[in-house]
């Protein structure tokens, strides 16, 4: 596990990035609430809030209790060692390889007349499942 500590400049940069991301999420969410169909803006805001909260929890766990952080948390926050980085890189490579045929299958399904929203939701779920499964398999094997 990495033993590097964040400097004051790195902490300030991380805080700035989180604030800019939060601002962008709010702007896009409000635009979607105003101009998007149905509850798209509300769903986007809730999903983004959950995602940003997850990133904040991971960052807190890695900085406060690095010995208790998982391989994914260390790799995602770029605080891990070479093994953590290699596991994440290999899992993302598998996801990248599988994403192209999944997206092609989704395009064919849309072309055949299936509901676009449902196909895109299933595509997202399939890609998330492939990412989680590939990370678990690569982490177990290495």
Contacts of 49 (CB under 8 A, 6+ apart): 25
Q: Supply the pLDDT for residue 100.
A: 95
Question: From first to last of its 142 residues, what are the pLDDT tens digits of the chain?
Answer: 454 566 788 878 888 988 998 899 999 999 999 998 888 899 999 999 998 898 888 888 888 887 788 888 887 777 778 888 888 899 999 999 999 999 999 999 999 999 999 999 999 999 999 999 999 999 899 8
Phi then psi dihedrals of residue 15, to 5 deg: -65, -40
Angle value at C-alpha 9, between 74 and 55, nearest 5 degrees: 35
Q: Which two tokens stand for residue 113?
A: 């007349």
As a whole number of Å, the CA-based R_g of the chain is 18
Question: Distance (Å, rounded) from C-alpha 36 to C-alpha 120?
Answer: 16
pTM (two decimals): 0.69
Q: Supply the pLDDT for residue 82.
A: 86
Nearest to 69 by CA among 82, 84, 86: 84
Q: At what angle do helices 8-35 and 40-64 cross, to 10 degrees?
A: 170
Tokens 């400049």 locate to 9
Nearest to 91 by CA among 66, 71, 111, 121: 71
């Amino acid at each position: 596990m990495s033993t590097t500590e964040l400097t004051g400049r790195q902490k300030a940069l991380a805080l700035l990035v989180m604030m800019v991301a939060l601002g962008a999420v709010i702007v896009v969410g409000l635009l979607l609430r105003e101009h998007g169909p149905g509850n798209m803006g509300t769903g986007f805001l809730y999903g983004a809030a959950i995602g940003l909260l997850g990133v904040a929890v991971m960052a807190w766990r890695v900085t406060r209790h690095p010995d208790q952080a998982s391989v994914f948390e260390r790799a995602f926050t770029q605080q891990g060692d070479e093994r953590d980085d290699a596991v994440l890189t290999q899992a993302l490579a598998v996801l990248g390889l599988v994403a192209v045929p999944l997206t092609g299958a989704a395009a064919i399904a849309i072309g055949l007349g299936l509901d676009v929203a449902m196909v895109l939701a299933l595509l997202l779920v399939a890609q998330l499942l492939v990412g989680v499964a590939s990370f678990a398999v690569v982490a177990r094997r290495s």
